[in-house]
Amino acid sequence: MICSTVLAVKKSAFFETVITAIGYANGTQEKGARKVRKPWKSLLRKAPIHSRVVIICVCFMFFSMLVIGGYLSAMMYSKSYESTCEKMQIYTEKTVQNIDQSFSFISNTGLAVATGGTIGYWISNVELFDPENPTYYNNINDLKSETAHVLTYSNAWKTNYISYICILLNEEPLLYVSRGQMTPNSIYQSAIKANEALKESGQQFIGNIPPFVNGDEIYHVRIMKRDFSSEDSLAIIIATKEEVLYKEYAEFDEVNGVSSYLIDESGYIFSSSERELVGERIEESFLDAVKRQENGSINREGNDYLYFSKPLSANSLTLVNIVPKRTIMDQTFEGLPLLFVITGLLCILLLAIGFVVSFKSTSFIKDLVVCMDEVMKKNYDAKMPHYHNKSVDTLSQHFNDMTSAMKTLINDTYKAKIMRQEMELEFIQQQVNPHFLFNVLSTIQIKAKMCGDETVYQMLTSLSGLLRASLYSGKNTMTSLLEEVKYAEFYLYLQKQRYNDRLNYCIDMDQSLEKFQIPRLTLEPIVENSVVHGMEGVSDRVTISVKIFRDEQDVVIRVEDDGCGFDVDALDLSGEDVTLDGGREKVGLKNTHCRLVMLYGEGYGLKIHSGFGQGTMVEIRIPWEQRGREEQ
């Protein structure tokens, strides 16, 4: 009763410790008899501990990825913005240099034609190109030859910047030199309209301004006069295909999504990558922004653009390049696949770390469950390891202390019960079975009536030896195998005399084991069990065989009979409650088994193999190096 109370107290203290630890882990504390919980209840609190760690890691991962992604996106956009601005400024300057150079070639070509000998002679002789002049056609041919000669050495002509040159005298066609298949009428009409447009605009370069000029040319017009007071004028008109100029920037614009405009001061578009806008005017707001600042940002039709402008040095034209900000964003997002790959790798890494950390941090719970299962299986040697964590180690220490106390208490209780059973067995052994004694005495009486031979003497000798072994064993609990076999042989001899030919027995023992020490009355209960159960309900002869030998590190005692056998499953030798209801043999088997297990461990004791109609085999193993063995 005292042992049970102490054990209950220990269990109660342990479970209080476990509940307290779990309460701290779940965010609860004991305060008297009342639990004080945190006011918030969430999925995180209800989830298992290792799941919480994983959830926290995943949340941290997504937050980290959000911050890192935002930072990298901002950095990439900033770098892309700076790179785009730098690249566009360089591109604009380079394109302006190329266009300036092209226009310079055109201007130099016109100057070379204007400074030729024929035009110089016309300045001093106004009648040079008078139709009434006999040399009129010769003079025109000379001027045409000079013009063709200039074009032969002109870089503008070689690079296709000049499509034709037309010379007008007092706004009337004089001659032309062309590259392509163009009719004289179309050339003269275009030249006349370009000359008229020049007078209205006062510019040197004239773009395609319908309805004044047909086609898609840009015109360079140079006016020659004899003097300021003269009304006679000679106009040199050089036409350039806008498409040739467009090729200067077309390839770059197509690749990079840039739109280019070559405009004059009034916003007229001489050339553009947006082909449908050539000859139109740009928006006033756009033109005003370009005039205020060379580079900046504008909004056109709801879209944001960056523009980069640069005036041409040879004339009043300006090159404007615009790039959508969306393009910069697209360039920024080009790096997102790499970011996604990095994010995916980080996700896998963080999840792996989360799982490892979670299972590491909650491993003590799994160990606790395993140890408690072992305790439920009556394995009180189960111990929790050291975790290098003060709180968890406290729980581990309490558990280990509890199992140690339980083991001590159970062993004490078990030993006390074994001692009580030993006392009961000793009490039974000291009471001669009246039925057995009656049968023996009857047998002796019958033999005594029949004849006075040696048999009576042997029976009395065996009975005396058996009674002496059971009643006068004293306090010595160990005996030699030789003595134990002798007691068993006394019993078998008496039973042989009782059953006559129905019972045979044989004993085979290795002589080197005669002094081997075993617990007293280990063999006799087994032999008695073989006789009682083997002879029940059997009319044939029953043979009982006792073999004692050494098997490696064990001494083996094997008792076999070919009797009726019994159901081994119905006999529970490990039960704690041993009663006397089953008779002496049942108590003897259980106590013999329990004594051997307590002395030598779980691997020893009785091993019984039997079945109805199959006989019975009982094997006892005792370690050779067991305590108490007499030195050989």
Q: What is the DSSP string of 346-415?
A: HHHHHHHHHHHHHHHHTHHHHHHHHHHHHHHTT-TT------S-HHHHHHHHHHHHHHHHHHHHHHHHHH
As a whole number of angstroms, the distance between CA 495 and CA 521 comes to 18
Residue 486 identity (one-letter amino acid)? K
Over residues 183-205, the mean pLDDT reads: 75
With 80 as the cut, is the pLDDT of residue 448 above it? Answer: no
Q: 418 or 494, which is more confident? A: 494
With 80 as the cut, is the pLDDT of residue 20 above it? Answer: no
In degrees and rounded to multiples of 5, residue 324 shows phi and psi of -65, 140
Average pLDDT, the chain: 75
As a whole number of angstroms, the distance between CA 156 and CA 165 comes to 12
Per DSSP, which regions of 464-564 are E strands? 478-480, 503-509, 517-519, 542-551, 554-561
> Highest mean pLDDT range out of 26-40, 140-154, 418-432, 588-602?
140-154
For residues 578 and 590, is the Cβ–Cβ distance under 8 A? yes
As a whole number of angstroms, the distance between CA 2 and CA 412 comes to 11
- For 315-368, what is each residue's pLDDT tens digit? 778 899 888 888 777 777 776 677 677 777 877 887 777 677 766 666 777 778
Our CA angle for 280, 285, 289, nearest 5°, is: 110
Confidence of residue 544 (pLDDT cuts 50, 70, 90): very high
Residues 6+ apart with CB under 8 A from 174: 129, 140, 143, 167, 168, 234
Which pairing describes strands 615-623 and 605-611: parallel, antiparallel, or unpaired? antiparallel
As a whole number of angstroms, the distance between CA 61 and CA 56 comes to 8
For residues 249 and 259, is the Cβ–Cβ distance under 8 A? no
pLDDT for the residue numbered 4: 34
Domains of the chain: 83-331 (no CATH), 430-623 (3.30.565.10)
The DSSP code for 612 is: T
Residue 593 identity (one-letter amino acid)? H
In degrees and rounded to multiples of 5, residue 615 shows phi and psi of 80, -175
SS3 state at 322: strand
| Measured CA distances, 496 to 443, 484, 501, 503, 504 (Å) | 11, 18, 8, 6, 7
With 60 as the cut, is the pLDDT of residue 129 above it? Answer: yes
pLDDT for the residue numbered 555: 93
As a whole number of angstroms, the distance between CA 629 and CA 612 comes to 37
With 50 as the cut, is the pLDDT of residue 151 above it? Answer: yes
Confidence of residue 619 (pLDDT cuts 50, 70, 90): very high
Could you tell me where the DSSP H helices lie in 241-335?
242-256, 284-292, 325-333
For residues 473 and 511, is the Cβ–Cβ distance under 8 A? no
With 80 as the cut, is the pLDDT of residue 227 above it? Answer: no
Confidence of residue 277 (pLDDT cuts 50, 70, 90): confident
Which pairing describes strands 542-551 and 503-509: parallel, antiparallel, or unpaired? parallel
With 70 as the cut, is the pLDDT of residue 483 above it? Answer: yes
As a whole number of angstroms, the distance between CA 128 and CA 138 comes to 10
Q: What is the DSSP string of 60-120?
A: HHHHHHHHHHHHHHHHHHHHHHHHHHHHHHHHHHHHHHHHHHHHHHHHHHHHHHHTSHHHH
Bond prior to 211 in cis (omega within 30° of 0): yes
With 70 as the cut, is the pLDDT of residue 217 above it? Answer: yes
The per-type count for the chain, helices as H runs and strands as E runs, is 18, 19
Q: 589 or 8, which is more confident? A: 589
With 80 as the cut, is the pLDDT of residue 577 above it? Answer: no
Q: 317 or 5, which is more confident? A: 317
Over residues 260-287, the mean pLDDT reads: 85
Q: Is the pTM of this model over 0.85?
A: no
Over residues 517-537, the mean pLDDT reads: 85
As a whole number of angstroms, the distance between CA 397 and CA 390 comes to 10
Could you tell me where the DSSP H helices lie in 125-270?
136-152, 155-158, 184-201, 242-256
Percent composition of the chain: helix, strand, coil (DSSP 3-state, to 5) = 55, 20, 25
With 60 as the cut, is the pLDDT of residue 132 above it? Answer: yes
Q: 10 or 333, which is more confident? A: 333
Nearest to 440 by CA among 455, 425, 424: 455
For residues 582 and 615, is the Cβ–Cβ distance under 8 A? no
> Highest mean pLDDT range out of 25-29, 134-138, 461-465?
134-138
